[in-house]
Amino acid sequence: MSIGFLMALLAGPIFCGWVCPLGTFQEWLGKLGSKIFKRKYNQFIPASWDKPLRYLRYLVAAWVIFMTARSLTLVFANVGPYFALFNFWSSEVAIGGLVVLAITILSSLFIERPLCKYACPCGAIQGLLNPIRAAKLRRNPETCIDCKMCDRACPMNIPVSQLIVVKDHQCISCMECTSEAACPVPDTLSFSIGDKR
pLDDT by residue (tens digit) across 107-135? 999 999 999 999 999 999 999 999 999 99
Does residue 196 carry a pLDDT above 60? Answer: no
Of 127, 151, 175, which residue constitutes the final position of a domain? 127
Does residue 93 carry a pLDDT above 90? Answer: no
Q: What is the mean pLDDT of the chain?
A: 89
Same domain for 94 and 138, yes or no, is no
Tell me the mean pLDDT in the region 166-171.
95
Element (H, E) at 136: strand 135-139
Same domain for 106 and 184, yes or no, is no
Tens digits of residue pLDDT in 2-52: 777 788 888 899 999 999 999 999 999 999 999 999 989 998 999 899 999
Same domain for 68 and 114, yes or no, is yes
Structural domain count of the chain: 2
pTM (two decimals) = 0.85
Name the phi and psi angles at 12, rounded to 5: 85, -175
The CATH number of residue 162's host domain is 3.30.70.20
Same domain for 123 and 140, yes or no, is no
Alpha-carbon span 123 to 57, nearest angstrom: 8
Same domain for 59 and 118, yes or no, is yes
Same domain for 140 and 186, yes or no, is yes
Element (H, E) at 63: helix 56-71
What's the pLDDT at 170? 95
Which amino acid belongs to residue 139? Answer: R
Same domain for 164 and 189, yes or no, is yes
Of 127, 151, 180, which residue constitutes the final position of a domain? 127
Same domain for 42 and 119, yes or no, is yes
Of 72, 101, 127, which residue constitutes the final position of a domain? 127
Same domain for 111 and 16, yes or no, is yes
Same domain for 16 and 87, yes or no, is yes
Range of 166's domain?
Answer: 134-193
What's the pLDDT at 109? 97
